[in-house]
Structure 1
Amino acid sequence: MCPHAVLPCARSSGRTASPAARRPACRPVGAAFEQEWAADLEDSRRTFSLGGLYAVLQDWQGRIAHAPAVDALAASGYDDSDAVDMAELRGRRQRR
């Protein structure tokens, strides 16, 4: 499984014509999950809430489940420059 398919990167800000050209060098998936988990674990200790940890698990389950489809889309050369960030959509839904 390609880690680029399931891992957003801070360096992926610019849009270019080719999805493959946009794909940055990313940190390994395990390290990214551990970083997010550790941050939310500390937050849950302060707030006595497991909501953040649940959100991390749900987000990563979605990323891993959709990785093959994302890899196939990236390999097809489909222009996704007008795509919407799913994290932004989830944030909108949770604020309602």
Structure 2
Amino acid sequence: SLANTGLLSPIKYSIMHPGTHVWPHTGPTNCRLRMHLGLVIPKEGCRIRCGMVPGGNPVLEGKVLIFDDSFEHEVWQDAENYRLIFIVDVWHPELTAQQRRTLPAI
């Protein structure tokens, strides 16, 4: 069962093409943390804003970004090439094993 692991949901990949903007939105719960690993990231033009960071932060190839997606966030992809991110959701570290077992699937 996923409740006994650090993983909350299946892994996924996100490809964004040039000129993409994911408007401000929030995730469904603060019971998880979202991990982004940049697999193919152009040198410039890819950024993510989590919470109140104005303008966002660059997305970097080979680096992991971990954030609570229950906070408002948005993504820009203004580079000339596509961006590929590996995404994994993990349980929030403050949840107990019992809480993980009793929470509904997201």
TM-score interval (norm. to shorter) = under 0.3
Q: Report the TM-score, using the length of structure 1 for normalisation.
A: 0.27
Higher strand share: 2
Higher helix share: 1
| Higher RCO (CA 8 Å, separation ≥ 6 residues) | 2
Q: Report the TM-score, using the length of structure 2 for normalisation.
A: 0.26
